[in-house]
Amino acid sequence: MDDTLQAIQAAYISELKKEVPRIKKWWTKSMKDNTEKRYPDKLIVDFDLRWPSGMGGHPRLIEIFRRYFLAAEARNLELEEAGRQYEQKPVTEEWGLDTEPPSRENVPPIDLLLNDLASEHQDLHRVMRTMQFIPIGMRDGEIV
């Protein structure tokens, strides 16, 4: 993987490690406060209805994810323009041979920021997999 993408991923994980415990604490307190809230004749549990995606929908996590997603996407575009892309031989050429996995130069941001967390940072992955946001938009008629 490209050094810049590795640095983006490392900074992202570091920032998540600082923020996720705060958000978990807030989440737990808010759920407790909500379940203790009583109305005449019934218990209303509406906190989880207002946060259907779970902790991954917290605005701070969305901001962090968006910032690093856009940084990774920008780096991937730089690598693509420089002609360095993910290279893999057709499966038929490697059939039956022991080969090294292909090096990843151009890494999709969703892999870098979400899917890669599953192997080494499962606690962060459990929170971030509920993220229901992909930062795509338009600026001056171009996708950003």
16 or 93: which leads in pLDDT: 16
- Residue 45, Ramachandran bin (φ over 0: left; ψ between -120 and 50: alpha; else beta): beta
- Who has greater pLDDT, 82 or 108? 108
Beta-carbon neighbour count of residue 30 at 10 Å?
Answer: 14
Tens-place pLDDT, residues 48-97: 677 788 898 899 999 999 999 999 999 998 888 877 655 556 666 667 77
CA–CA dist 27, 51 (Å, integer): 10
Confidence at residue 12, expressed as pLDDT on a 0 to 100 scale: 98
pLDDT at 127 over 90: yes
Q: Token pair 């090294």 is at which residue?
A: 100
Whether 102 has a pLDDT exceeding 60, the answer reads: no
pLDDT at position 86 is 53
- Give the predicted TM-score (pTM) of the model: 0.76
